[in-house]
Structure 1
Amino acid sequence: MASPPASVIVVSRGRPEALDLCLKALALQDHPQFEVIVVADPAGLAVAARHPVRRVAFDEANISAARNAGLRLAAGEAVAFIDDDAVAEPTWLSRLVAPLADPSVDAATGFVRGRNGISLQWGAARIDRFGQDHPLDAGAGGVFAPDATGPVKTQGANCAFRASALRAAGGFDPAFRFYLDEADVNLRMQARTAVIPDAQVAHGFAASDRRRADRVPLTLADIGASTACFLRRHAPDADLPAAFSALAGAQAVRLAAHRKAARLNGADVARLMDSLSGGWADGLTRPLGPLPPIPAPAGGFEPLPGTGQRDGKVIAGRIWQAGRLRAEAERAAREGQIVTLFLFSPTPRKHRMRFDPAGFWEQTGGLFGASLRSQPRFRLWTFPERLAYETERVGNLRPMARFSPRPSVV
């Protein structure tokens, strides 16, 4: 199924370095026709100016309003969203938007890997009218209609919509400044949604004005406010005091774990719980009127140059050869190849995968260590065996060595 022309919207505020990495990875997409729209603060716009992308000035702590600002310019048949602290696999966009070629499908979502670049952070789930997730066994993926539980939940770091359908629904509700913003769209649209497990991004969970780099929250106000708004709209019969008690209990458990790990103290916890209460009170009063449709853009489509299918290359060696092999990987990336570098140490160290600013993917870890966290902590491998396993594991996500019968092993 051919992928329709697409617009990728990236909202960024206060994270220019992460945005730069995100945009470098988007330039390597194998989708042949897509544009990128960056909606950002001044620092983000300065980074975006170094890339051939469209730019929209926006410097408010409201991700829904920012996404709508991008949607007003999006000229693609499909519109995709990725977080500024996420890095997309080269096959991400083409796989994500391909199901939207079917006129009965109006939304799509993929899987999200976590900070180590390997472990699954988010899979498939449905969202109910109380804002609760219900795991969905998507198998190899497919198209799922809403059922008695609710529609498929699209993950904000990795989702796409038919642009005309999203605009007809009014886009994102600015009452949801952060948290439950996509879930609100899912409940309002009630769309048949494609789940594509192999349309993957790695999500870094970078620091923001709402959380630290170690994922410790700085405020819970938006969680409180958005939860109140969500229940008012989608579960008007809910017992709101009981709902707040349940929310407060869940957040208290979360904060207790951070306190046990010495990332928070008692005063921090009290302040954060106060912010949750304040946000809840705010959310009970925010206007939730009907959302008018967003008009189609008057401007034209501005595709990113140089995208499409590329050759893959694998470079592999020992960790003490890292300097020379990274230089080789950088040269190959400059030549336009999709490069994956494997560096193994003679240890049982766990593996990590990252996208290097020089434009290549790098996986490091012990020859005998686990890449998937479900694997044994130690397993004997020869170097060729380990390399063959890892290239097979990753090879479905990005080209490995399209025209090379064997990877380059040093």
Structure 2
Amino acid sequence: MTALPTSVVIVSRGRGAELSRCLLAVSQLDHPAFEVIVVADPEGLAAVARSGLAGRIKTVPFDAPGISAARNAGIAAAAGELIAFLDDDAVPEPAWLRHLAGAIETTGAEAAAGYVRGRNGISFQSRAVAVDPLGRDLPLEFDGDAPVVPQVPAGAAVKTVGTNCAFRRDVLLALGGFDPAITFFMDETDLDLRLAAAGGRVAVAPLAEVHHAFAPSPRRRADRLPLDLADIGRSSARVMRRHAPWADAGRRFAELRAEQEARIARHVQAGNCPPEALGRLLATLERGWAEGLRAPLEGGPWLARASPPAFLRFRPERPFGADLVLAGSLLAAGRLRREAARAVREGRRTSLYLFDHTPRRHRLRFTADGVWEQSGGLYGASDRGDPPFRFWRFRARVERECARTRLVRATVVSEGK
């Protein structure tokens, strides 16, 4: 397989620390021909400058709310045949871009969607899903981890998520880009439905994995409690007006309201917010829906067709060599973490496994030193399909974890205990 030149677009606003971590992970990607475009506010641009990567990254100043307009600015700066999107509060596995771009190339599809793991690094936030014109998710089932173009019901589309998807550049231009009136929520859904209506296909790439933390924003807290639902209401109304039979839209809004009510009620029950927050937040949802119904429904295009700028191939300061695995007891964590950090500085993608003799569930994190650190009980579950307890010998457990992650993070050398 030849690697198509690919542009990675990252939009960042008010998350300098998260962006720095994201860029550290991006610098470990094993794709041979990609560029990085950061569309960011002053905080994000300062994070790029501090990273030491400024001369190897395209930056686009953008200090306004609105993910769709920001992504369009990134597309305009992109020169790759493919354009991939990644959120600033996410980190990709080292083989992410190779699998994501490869899914488009091997299947001939117009776009690709990968899998997203949650903040514990183990559970999935998102896998293969279709979406209908009313914004309802329809799970897709298939076996294996090879790229596949799923069959979806008439009128539906394979759903992409903005933190892990890629499109052919010429397809994005033909579709007119993202609708800038959709500032948050369903921005990808609108694009996916327009792509499907034009006959485009989306490949699912199970091995293209991204870890997504859901960092706080003006719309939600760190515990994912929403602070305002108006954007969700506005975007839902706009997408349904464009794609759905109007007779069904009112019923769908009632379902959406019930979903958000249940979501907030769980926070109230957990003590995360007072009961009166429920009515206030639902009022913002209804206000946004009403505004979305009144707003003009222009149809784009929102991107001008122009010759792409020069491709700025990303080259790490030090090419990465053979990947490294370190493993040991939690009692030796300090020493092993120092060894792992040193290995990353020397140009080795490094996985660190720290076990204690318990059935504690595992967690996985990408550290500030650029290390993939997995910790938990020697006998605990590292996959949500695992039993809560299973006896392992230490070396066999390390080998099992290396095998489990081998295709998303090439781990070929094992040292330490």
* TM-score (normalizing by structure 1): 0.95
Q: Secondary structure at the match of 2:158?
A: coil
1:117-170 per-position Cα deviation (integer Å, ceiling 9, x unaligned): 111110001111111110011323312365415121112110000011111101
For residue 285 of structure 1, report the CA deviation from its aligned partner: 2.0
- 1:409–1:395 distance in 2 versus 1, CA, 3 Å: same
Residue number among 53, 59, 63 corresponding to 1:55 in the alignment: 59
The answer to whether residue 206 in structure 2 is matched with residue 202 in structure 1 is: no
- 1:149–1:289 distance in 2 versus 1, CA, 3 Å: closer
Residue matched to 1:249: 258
1:40-68 per-position Cα deviation (integer Å, ceiling 9, x unaligned): 11101111123231111112220000000
In the aligned structure 2, how far is the partner of 1:256 from the partner of 1:313? Answer: 45
Whichever residue aligns with residue 131 of structure 2, its letter is I
Q: Which moved more, 1:241-250 or 1:61-70?
A: 241-250
Q: Which moved more, 1:318-327 or 1:294-303?
A: 294-303
Whichever residue aligns with residue 110 of structure 1, its letter is G
Residue matched to 1:187: 193
For residue 248 of structure 1, report the CA deviation from its aligned partner: 1.0
Where do 1:46-195 residues align within 5 Å?
46-49=46-49, 50=51, 51=53, 52-101=56-105, 104-140=108-144, 141-144=147-150, 147-148=153-154, 150-190=156-196, 191-195=200-204
Whichever residue aligns with residue 28 of structure 1, its letter is Q
In the aligned structure 1, how far is the partner of 2:319 from the partner of 2:177? Answer: 29
The answer to whether residue 413 in structure 2 is matched with residue 409 in structure 1 is: no
Structure 1, unpaired ranges of 5+: none
Cα pair 2:362 2:382 within 8 Å, conserved: yes
Residue number among 253, 262, 265 corresponding to 2:274 in the alignment: 265
1:150-194 per-position Cα deviation (integer Å, ceiling 9, x unaligned): 121112110000011111101100111111000100111112111
Residue matched to 1:32: 32
Cα pair 2:162 2:188 within 8 Å, conserved: yes
For residue 28 of structure 1, report the CA deviation from its aligned partner: 0.6
Whichever residue aligns with residue 366 of structure 1, its letter is G
Cα pair 1:175 1:286 within 8 Å, conserved: no
The answer to whether residue 4 in structure 2 is matched with residue 4 in structure 1 is: yes
Count residues in correspondence: 406
Residue matched to 1:340: 351
Residue number among 281, 293, 299 corresponding to 1:290 in the alignment: 299
For residue 287 of structure 1, report the CA deviation from its aligned partner: 2.4
Q: Which moved more, 1:376-385 or 1:214-223?
A: 376-385
Cα pair 1:225 1:279 within 8 Å, conserved: yes
1:297-354 per-position Cα deviation (integer Å, ceiling 9, x unaligned): 4420101113877411100000011111001001111111110000001222110011
Whichever residue aligns with residue 35 of structure 1, its letter is E
In the aligned structure 2, how far is the partner of 1:38 from the partner of 1:96? Answer: 19
Residue matched to 1:360: 371
Cα pair 2:177 2:191 within 8 Å, conserved: yes
In the aligned structure 2, how far is the partner of 1:270 from the partner of 1:41? Answer: 33
The answer to whether residue 44 in structure 2 is matched with residue 44 in structure 1 is: yes
Cα pair 1:318 1:343 within 8 Å, conserved: yes
Cα pair 2:140 2:150 within 8 Å, conserved: no
Residue matched to 1:279: 288
In the aligned structure 2, how far is the partner of 1:145 from the partner of 1:240? Answer: 25
Q: Secondary structure at the match of 1:302?
A: coil
* TM-score (normalizing by structure 2): 0.94
Cα pair 2:320 2:348 within 8 Å, conserved: no
For residue 103 of structure 1, report the CA deviation from its aligned partner: 8.6
The answer to whether residue 337 in structure 2 is matched with residue 326 in structure 1 is: yes
1:171-222 per-position Cα deviation (integer Å, ceiling 9, x unaligned): 1001111110001001111121111100101111111111111111111111
Cα pair 1:111 1:199 within 8 Å, conserved: yes
Residue number among 287, 299, 314 corresponding to 2:309 in the alignment: 299
Residue matched to 1:15: 15
Whichever residue aligns with residue 57 of structure 2, its letter is V
Q: Which moved more, 1:270-279 or 1:296-305?
A: 296-305
In the aligned structure 1, how far is the partner of 2:394 from the partner of 2:309? Answer: 54
Q: Which moved more, 1:132-141 or 1:33-42?
A: 132-141
Q: Which moved more, 1:157-166 or 1:382-391?
A: 382-391
For residue 101 of structure 1, report the CA deviation from its aligned partner: 2.9
In the aligned structure 2, how far is the partner of 1:7 from the partner of 1:43? Answer: 22
Q: Which moved more, 1:48-57 or 1:169-178?
A: 48-57
Question: What is the aligned-residue RMSD (CA, Å)?
Answer: 1.6
Name the % identity: 48
In the aligned structure 2, how far is the partner of 1:310 from the partner of 1:321? Answer: 25
Whichever residue aligns with residue 22 of structure 1, its letter is C
For residue 241 of structure 1, report the CA deviation from its aligned partner: 3.3
Q: Which moved more, 1:222-231 or 1:240-249?
A: 240-249
Residue matched to 2:325: 314
Structure 2, unpaired ranges of 5+: none
In the aligned structure 2, how far is the partner of 1:39 from the partner of 1:100? Answer: 24
In the aligned structure 1, how far is the partner of 2:410 from the partner of 2:203? Answer: 23
Residue matched to 1:400: 411
Residue number among 362, 366, 377 corresponding to 2:388 in the alignment: 377
- 1:66–1:230 distance in 2 versus 1, CA, 3 Å: same
1:96-133 per-position Cα deviation (integer Å, ceiling 9, x unaligned): 01233369411001111111111111000111111111
Cα pair 2:364 2:373 within 8 Å, conserved: yes
The answer to whether residue 397 in structure 2 is matched with residue 386 in structure 1 is: yes
